[in-house]
Structure 1
Amino acid sequence: MANDMNSADYIIVGGGSAGCVMAARLSENGRHKVLLIEAGPSDRRFDIDVPVGYARTYFDARVNWMFNSAPVPALKDRVVYYPRGKVLGGSGSINAMVFARGQAEDFEDWEKVGNQGWGWRDVLPFYKKMETHDFGASDLHGGDGPMHVTQMGRDTHPICETFFKAAEELGFKHLSDLNGAEAEGVGHYQVNIKKGQRHSSAKAYLRPALKRGNLEVITGAQVLKVLVEGKRAVGVQLRRDGILQDVRAQREVILSAGAIGSPHLLLLSGIGPAADLKAQGIDVVHDLPMVGQNLMDHICYDHYFEATVPTLNSELGNWFGKIKAGAQYALLRRGPLAGSLNQAGGFVRSSPSRARPNIQLYFCPLAYEKASPDSRELIIVRSTPAFSLSASPCRPKSRGYLRLKSRDASVAPEIQPNLLSHPDDMAEIIEAAHLMRRLSNTKALGSVIRLETKPGPRTQSDADFEAYVKESTYSIFHPSGTCRMGTNAAESVVDSRLRVHGLQSLRVIDSAIFPSIPSANTNAPTMMVAEKGAAFLLGEDNR
């Protein structure tokens, strides 16, 4: 971007999963001058392109904000790590690439609480608009959108079939499409990968748009605050290479900095709970009590097993196997490096009494140890054949918050997710633990298990599982809801067209606006929100 840029029609803060979609769509017709501001660098990196490269970016401060939560009471005061993308493509450049829309009922729930135009019939066209799907165009999928959605299967490990047989023993249906008409069942995951490379929104949307003369992109620039005159957002103040600069917005300022970054920026701008702002010495520009509230996240819980048959540990747990996998990827863009480690799973009910699927399962043909930040890697892989089975409750009831620790924009906010603070969440994850034990005891999986290593066969009772859950449960990195969409300023931050309550020319368009968390991975819903938000701005959606 040119150094003399001082205004644009639309200023987009955050070049992540949502921001890249917004930049591409708003600049598409050529009529608007669009500025995209990203704090991190370009995504043109080998460890981002290679799908399993997220093992390298997990603790890489060059492309990752590397947030930590406050101690979480229900997890024995453990601090929870929150990797968030600080790079073009955002968290979509460092995640595990699972493309899951959520259940149709999730969006019906959004509409039921007053968010008109956000039911399943309303959001499906925007999912289709984004997709070039392996299954081609249909009533449920798009065939010519920017984002390539690949059905895993060709290169998944054969032990995944054993998991499917085990699930069928418990009555869970095998689905050919986990984003299809049926929500309940197991199958291969779909991923945003194209020809063996990560296909984030930076690649799918932004990169083709960069040749447009009306789109400018700044990297390495942190926005410090939104500039507000009266009740109208008129621009932003940013810092780049130590230099402060004000940039004016002729039409609107759009915050797409994510569920941590967007509320943090609102608070720094004097938009949020008045008492909290005053406590930090920040002038109150607009008292909006729900900014930073309603923090939601998915948690996950693992069972680990040593296997009697080969798994990916057999391939990636030794140097010969790593060299072979590297050569296969380099020559063919295939093999274990060309996909996600989350190869299979699905959405099931942990009990017949549950009204709809309430647990997301992950089956990984690999068992690994999480490394420390000093190792600069996500995983340590042993050569002993092993695999893992994980469960993530779909719709947790626990709610946390985010608030300022300092008026200095370089100081991360306090993040308190309050995971498992609601008693129903603990009851549900214990139910899920018993379900995983039942899966491991099926004839199919039992035939390939040598030993359950975690939590181990001595863990049997609800109390046993609760103790283990408190020690081992972790975030699956889906923070959302901190600028909740709703009908009034007392309970939400933005309206159903994503406009900040009580202010003009300011919107939040990212996962922060989720009224309730979708029942699956949040990257696809975030991009859908951006597609729909761009349509609002361009007048294409009249609902």
Structure 2
Amino acid sequence: MDMRSWRFLKASLVAVFALHAYFCHSDTAPYYSFVDEATSAPQVSYHDYIVVGGGVAGCPLAATLSETATVLVLERGGSPYRKPVDTDKGNFVLTLLDPTPDSYAQAFITEDGVYNHRARVLGGGSVFNAGFYSHAEPDFIKESGLDEALVKDSYQWVEKKVAFKAPVLQWQSAVINGLLEAGVLPYNGFTYDHINGTKIGATIFDLDDHRHSAADLLEYDNPKQIKVYLHATVHKIILATEGIRSRPRAEGVIFEDAFGVKHTAFLTKDSKSEIIVSAGAIGSPQLLMLSGIGPAHQLEALGIEVVMDQPMVGQGMGDNTLNGLVIPSPIPVELSLVSSVGISQPVNYIESGSGLNLTPSFGRITKLLLPFLNQTTIGSLFDTRLRGGIIVQKAARPISRGHIELWSTDPNETPKVRFNYFQEPEDLRKCVQGIKTIINVVNSKAFSKFRYQEISTQLLLNLVAALPLNLRPRSLATALSLEHFCRDTVMTFWHHHGGCQTGNVVDHDYRVLGVDGLRVIDSSTFSFTPGTNPQAAVMMLGRAMGVRIQKGRYS
């Protein structure tokens, strides 16, 4: 199929999805009069702020800016409200596996051979993540340079719309008590705070297991001053230069709708008007490079005009690793995603879920369990949902760093991404420590009713090692060494960060160094992911920076 035919097919499918969303709109989903398909956009428009990416940071940022200025949001994906049931708690894994052209999660494989996803939906990764909501550690707030009172107010602004106390039923209670037996102390009860020990956190799933996302924060907007276009793929930022010594200035963007038609959005003539890139740790450095800001040798090789040679764009990429165990249970379990966490700063975080719809992934597990359990028991484990759960660890603050490179000038194509998982021995040590903690939880008295005594923890390790979790070369010693187990079973926690890091690419006001009228506000600016799960901090950042930018505009 040639490119023209593919684009026509893709546009047709997108149109079908849009019609389906219109006629099957959920009564519980917010209705936004200012959200439209990019096919309805004028050829040329003018705005005080242009936000590229309606994700976890972009939605609260845009809603805040619209209080006092005109805002355009360009989101390359669709609406999270077109299929609201798909984002409910019980369909967490299935949303990630959605193969349709307009899926919320765009799959890709890193150069390390690890399966991965990036968001393409209004609301970003908060539309398909595990839902855990917890504040950042104090170190992150200090490094961000944000005022503590503003941070507190911004968290509260977010939480009025999307945060709920996470439910704790039998499985999660057993994990909590198992963590305490394993020495992850003290017990801190329910708290938003990121502190050592075991705690219950918040979630973006409500009491009916319906998901709320960053897109819900658009309810705060001024609908007369904001416009959001879906399936609007930004191809480049228009950067103007006057004279050989002048700084480049962002003046607008060129974006394409689902039918391949190009549109141009310009900033108003106000000197405080800005373009703010919030396209995520992969999308933001990619867009800067496509616009001529990045490593000159890489841009020149693709015929991109170099506006500013900035070798640090796309560098310092990090991703937190995920490793863990699957534990079949002899008794029924509730459906749960992350409700509690064991925090061992700065080593790792232990989280858990149960009753998930993982059935498509477990054909190989049944074969390995056959020698230990009878066919009837095997069948009961994988009826419609897993009778059992998973306990995983996230290695905190990885030292290993990678980079991204452009394959082409097509913004729809995910660039080459390498995270260099476990390149640094310290990251591997953290993983091993986390797996040891998980084993201690599984072997604890508190957790005993949820495991078959005849299945040893070594067999559980073997089961996970037998699954095709990634495309990395396998070691023959996986079952003999936790170091090999970590390397061979590594997965992503989807907590990508870096690529436009503060101090290297942007300043502490998130302005792109050497360029006027251009900021980057999202996880690409981070040197580490805040908290156990970063979404709370990223939404807070969007709100806080919106407030700060407003004050700067009218001061």
TM-score band by shorter chain is 0.7 to 0.9
> After the TM superposition, which residues 403-422 of structure 1 pair with which residues of structure 2 at under 5 Å, given as runs?
403-422=405-424
C-alpha deviation, 1:225, in angstroms: 0.2
Change (3 A) 1:173 1:441: same
Q: Is the 8 A contact 1:167 1:439 kept in 2?
A: yes
Q: Is the 8 A contact 1:167 1:173 kept in 2?
A: no
Q: Which stretches in structure 1 are left out of the alignment for 5+ residues?
A: 73-78, 133-146, 313-335, 349-355, 373-379, 487-491
Q: Give the count of matched residue pairs.
A: 465
Which of residues 136, 148, 165 is equivalent to 1:151? 165
C-alpha RMSD of the superposition: 2.8
2:354 partner letter = P
Q: Is the 8 A contact 2:150 2:544 kept in 1?
A: no
Which of residues 487, 493, 496 is equivalent to 2:508? 496
Percent identity, aligned pairs only, is 28
> After the TM superposition, which residues 115-514 of structure 1 pair with which residues of structure 2 at under 5 Å, given as runs?
117-118=145-146, 123-132=151-160, 147-153=161-167, 156-171=168-183, 172-180=185-193, 183-196=195-208, 197-203=210-216, 205-209=217-221, 212-230=223-241, 231-240=248-257, 241-250=259-268, 251-312=273-334, 336=335, 341-348=337-344, 356-366=345-355, 369=358, 371=360, 382-383=382-383, 385-450=387-452, 451=455, 452=457, 453-456=459-462, 464-486=481-503, 492-514=504-526
Q: Is the 8 A contact 2:90 2:356 kept in 1?
A: no
Corresponding position: 1:87 with 2:100? no
Q: Is the 8 A contact 2:381 2:387 kept in 1?
A: no
1:123 partner letter = V
Distance 1:381 1:447 in 2: 15
Q: Give the 3-state SS of the residue equivalent to 1:503 in structure 2.
A: coil
C-alpha deviation, 1:368, in angstroms: 6.2
C-alpha deviation, 1:370, in angstroms: 7.3
Deviations 1:175-228 (Å, cap 9, x if unpaired)?
Answer: 222423x6022233311234532111111x21453x621111111111000000
Q: Give the 3-state SS of the residue equivalent to 1:477 in structure 2.
A: strand
Corresponding position: 1:41 with 2:78? yes
C-alpha deviation, 1:264, in angstroms: 0.6
Deviations 1:231-281 (Å, cap 9, x if unpaired)?
Answer: 100000011121112210121111011111111111100111111111211
Corresponding position: 1:96 with 2:130? yes
Q: Is the 8 A contact 2:428 2:483 kept in 1?
A: yes
Distance 1:39 1:362 in 2: 31
2:182 partner letter = L
Deviations 1:405-428 (Å, cap 9, x if unpaired)?
Answer: 112223321111111111110111
C-alpha deviation, 1:443, in angstroms: 2.1
Q: Is the 8 A contact 1:69 1:417 kept in 2?
A: no
C-alpha deviation, 1:394, in angstroms: 1.5
Q: Give the 3-state SS of the residue equivalent to 2:429 in structure 1.
A: helix
Distance 1:269 1:370 in 2: 43
Q: Give the 3-state SS of the residue equivalent to 2:510 in structure 1.
A: coil
Change (3 A) 1:173 1:462: farther
Q: Is the 8 A contact 1:151 1:190 kept in 2?
A: yes
Change (3 A) 1:81 1:264: same
- State the partner residue of 1:69: 109
Q: Give the 3-state SS of the residue equivalent to 1:444 in structure 2.
A: coil
Deviates more, 1:400-409 or 1:447-456: 447-456
- State the partner residue of 1:54: 92
Q: Which stretches in structure 2 are left out of the alignment for 5+ residues?
A: 1-35, 242-247, 362-379, 466-476
2:497 partner letter = S
Corresponding position: 1:8 with 2:21? no
Q: Give the 3-state SS of the residue equivalent to 1:411 in structure 2.
A: coil
Change (3 A) 1:292 1:92: same
C-alpha deviation, 1:122, in angstroms: 6.2
Q: Is the 8 A contact 1:157 1:365 kept in 2?
A: no
